[in-house]
Amino acid sequence: MNTIPVITLDGPAASGKGTVAELVARELGFHYLDSGALYRIATLAALKAGVDPADSEGLTAVAEKLSPVFENGRILLEGEDVTLAIRSEEVSRATSKVAVVPGVRRALFDLQRRAARAPGLVADGRDMGTVVFPEAPLKVFLTASARVRAERRYKQLTARGETADLDLLTKDLEERDRRDRERAEAPLKPAADARLLDTTEMGIEEAVKKVLDWWTTAR
């Protein structure tokens, strides 16, 4: 186990993990790990390679060969900029199916552990506090009502020019959360020692402040 300080942020889709994690990381001068991006990249790579979504071995092989490049906020996969492509709803849906495959999770584990570098790391995802960084001194489980989360994702998608339907989005989000919660391997759930943060009626700034306050007393 390394002794690099790590803050984990887990929670359901569009609960604000990435936004809060990035701001907390910036404030503390820590690195930031968007573990969901790795699962999304593996999924996009599998879709591009034409691997059958039911072929666990094929999906695992793709994840094992993955070597994404993170450069100035852009993500390159075999030379191609996939920053936006991995955020589509199609990829979101497919990702939660790929993420149930134990081999895929195993393949991405080391990649995630290696993100813990000095002076510290803020990691967001589904199993950061339970599986990948169980030694983290501060674990946060972020939630918000399904409707509020769907509205946030709707605004996010339409702001970048994608068409979206709020009812469909709500249904998709709930289905994805259910799949993430019910899978056998590394299901979405708060770590036993996680702090719960419900942002249904809380702005980004307040949520960031709460995490930073907890961090000052966590070690």
Q: Catalog residues that contact ligand ADP under the rule CB under 6 A.
A: 11, 13-19, 152-153, 156, 199, 202-204, 207
Coil, strand or helix at 108: helix
99 is in the binding site of which of ligand ADP, ligand CDP, none (Cβ under 5 to 8 A by kind)?
Answer: ligand CDP
Cβ closest to ligand ADP, residue 62 vs residue 125: 125
CB atoms within 10 A of CB 84: 12
Q: What is the smallest separation between the CB atom of 142 and ligand ADP, expressed in angstroms?
A: 7
25-31 contacts, C-beta under 8 A, 24 or more apart? 25/121, 25/122, 27/208, 27/212, 28/119, 28/120, 28/122, 28/212, 28/215, 29/119, 29/120, 30/5, 30/119, 30/120, 30/121, 30/122, 31/115, 31/116, 31/117, 31/120, 31/121, 31/122
Cβ closest to ligand CDP, residue 99 vs residue 194: 99
Whether 120 and 6 have beta carbons less than 8 Å apart is answered as yes
Of 31-39, 46-54, 69-77, 155-163, the window that binds ligand CDP (rule: CB under 6 A) is 31-39
Q: Which residues contact 168 (CB under 8 A, 6 or more apart)?
A: none
39 is in the binding site of which of ligand CDP, ligand ADP, none (Cβ under 5 to 8 A by kind)?
Answer: ligand CDP
Q: Which residue is nearest to ligand CDP (CB)?
A: 36
**Residue 81: beta bridge partners?**
76
- Token code pair at residue 219: 């070690």
Cβ closest to ligand CDP, residue 5 vs residue 125: 125
Q: Please list every residue from 94 through 113 that binds ligand CDP, using CB under 6 A.
A: 95-96, 99
Q: Which residues are annotated as a binding site for ATP?
A: 11-19
Q: Which residues are annotated as a binding site?
A: 11-19
The residue ranges that bind ligand CDP (CB under 6 A) are: 13-14, 35-36, 39-40, 92, 95-96, 99, 125-127, 176, 180
